[in-house]
Amino acid sequence: MSDSLPNGLDPLLIRQDFPILKRTVADHQPLVYLDNAASTQRPRQVTAAMVDLDESCYANVHRGLHTLSEEMTDRFEQAREQVADFISSPSSDQIVFTSGTTAAINLVARGWGDQQLQPGDEILLTLLEHHSNIVPWQQLAERSGAVIRWVEVTPSGQLDMDSLADQLGPRTRLLAITAVSNVLGTVTPLAEVIQAAHDQQALVLVDAAQMAPHMPLNVAQLDADFIAFSGHKMLGPNGVGVLYGRQELLESMSPVQGGGGMIHSVSREGFEPSPVPTRFEAGTPPISQVLGLAAAMQYLENVGLQAIHQHEQQLVQAACQQLAEIPALTLLGPGPDQTAGIVSFVVQGVHPHDLAQALDRQGVAIRAGHHCAMPLHQQLGISASCRASFYLYNTLDEVSQLASAIRRGCDVFLGS
């Protein structure tokens, strides 16, 4: 079977932009990198953009009147415009740069939640959430007296829409939900969920860390109130992320951090914050990382998000077919037509950590553990799982190498 799609995505050609994929690991084994849900590799175009910045015009932004600072400020704000275009935001003023998805969610919990929530108000979470979309809300509940309520998942790992309907109510102030489960790959029905929450006058925050890199994200069409995602999961550098918010909501929020860059004026009596989005960007921002993120987004747009999604579906379909043939292996989550780029599994009688190490010795890099989703694993009745996660540079041959490596690992731990 060819790895190329009719729309032109050729992973073998793409791999030429990623020098790290040519290296060997363990005992001179070619690297098969299948831990993309944790962090992706960066193409030459991204690292080149960051090197060019450092060598040609680096300076601090928004503060200087000299040439370098003005050039850097222009490039920084052009990057903000590019992010807005990438997610179809009505305005770049609705794009706040953060250090990642976690920081973006915490910003909303502090900047919006501390002002708005009262004792007895309800925050609705789902069992599909990453800890980064759980713990900030638990901390907010402790501070405010709000109550955390949970939406269940079905036995197949999908969002339980009956549970959502039961939990949504007049006291619900916020629903925080992932777009794609980082464990099961489950794609949540966001349009239906957001409409149901809005019908109850509740706001919706979407953790799009596993969506933005893999499929088109149109925030205007989606109609969520807040959306957060990270650069390092979409070919960009770590240390940078994005919070999108409705203009009126961002303008109503107080700054979470104080200092330089986020103020309009300061006196002995107090301060006046700058307009959004810079009121949420205290201190020197992640300048190099922002430019790297812009380069990564340009790369993804050149390839095409829809083509990437279709390629990943092809890989997941092949992985599920091949792994299902391994007797002791159990696939987790819904079928491949309802997931995005992730295949998780357990092998009876083999701890996920042991299996991951056995695969590493064969050059195959996967993730093992609870994947920062302990409540979901508790619901599944397991303490840990193995996760293979795919991206645009992975191939069908690598899927076969994964399956072969698992079989050899099972032979070692379980016997033939």
Residues 6+ apart with CB under 8 A from 128: 153, 159, 177, 178, 181, 183, 184, 186, 188, 373, 376
**Per the residue annotation, which of 320, 372, 386, 410 is the catalytic one?**
372
Taking the CA of residue 355 as centre, how many other CA atoms within 13 Å lie in the half-sphere pointing to its CB?
A: 30
Taking Cα atoms as reference points, which of 411, 405, 313, 296 lies closest to residue 360? Answer: 405
CA distances from 143 to 109, 118, 147 (A): 11, 9, 11
Tell me the CA end-to-end span of the chain in Å, nearest whole number.
Answer: 29
Report the distance separating Cα 234 and Cα 218, nearest Å. 16
Report the distance separating Cα 408 and Cα 359, nearest Å. 9
- Helix/strand/coil (H/E/C) assignment for every residue in 167-186: HCCCCEEEEEEECECCCCCE
The tokens describing 291, both together, are: 């430019």
Taking Cα atoms as reference points, which of 350, 380, 318, 376 lies closest to residue 34? Answer: 318
Residues 6+ apart with CB under 8 A from 194: 204, 206, 222, 223, 224
Any catalytic annotation for residue 372?
yes
CA angle, 373 then 374 then 378, to 5°: 125
Residues noted as catalytic:
372
